[in-house]
Amino acid sequence: MNDSARKSPARRALGLFLFVSLALAMAGGTSGCPKKPPKTTPTPEETAATPAPTATTSLDDAMRNGVPTPTDDVTLGCGDTPVYFELDSSSLTADSTAVVKGVISCLTTNPGWSVSIEGHADERGGTQYNLALGERRARSVGEYLRNAGIDKSRVSSVSFGEEKPANSGHDDAAWAKNRRAEFRINKK
């Protein structure tokens, strides 16, 4: 009689149980949840704010400091500042409203111009959810513009969800920069 025939059924079941348990333990140790990306600390270049020109700042000073100046592509005070949102929200804050009012002023002064509002979300949440959230954010800004008297034919919106982050970090500071709506002024 061979060894396996001499073992009792209970002993064989115990051996099988131990073998399966060991195999599962080994498999579980090599797989599982992916590791979180390491937290990054923004570099001084990322955290340094670009000074905005003030009434006392000359155009030459603004150009030396890297501040955008009026050109065919960028017009100061006209959509050059994003609107930021709270987590999981498309409601405008007091700071956001001030930015949108600057865009309203610009569009009112230039009736031939239109604006495309790009909605963005941070990386948390699923792709479809983030696209929908970005769309709600862009539409919220667009609705504010239309309620202020900007014709709806001059306002369009698009959502990029999490696809175009402003900051590629994986922390609260980066996510706050990615929850935004940006303006693209179209000059006719």
Distances, alpha carbon 145 to alpha carbons 99, 106, 155, in Å: 11, 11, 8
- Number of neighbouring beta carbons within 10 Å of residue 170: 16
Tell me: pLDDT of 89 over 60: yes
Mention the CATH class of domain 68-186.
Answer: alpha beta
Domain ranges of the chain: 68-186
Using pLDDT thresholds of 50, 70 and 90, give the confidence band for residue 63: very low
The two tokens of residue 14 are: 């115990």
Which residues neighbour 36 within 8 Å (Cβ) at sequence distance 6 or greater?
Answer: 170
Using pLDDT thresholds of 50, 70 and 90, give the confidence band for residue 94: very high
Give pTM, 2 decimals.
Answer: 0.60
Straight-line distance from the first to the last Cα atom of the chain, in angstroms, rounded to the nearest whole number: 95
Tell me: pLDDT of 76 over 70: no
Share of the chain above pLDDT 90, in %: 56
pLDDT per position as a tens digit, 114-146: 999 999 999 999 999 999 999 999 999 999 999
Fill in the DSSP letter of residue 41.
P
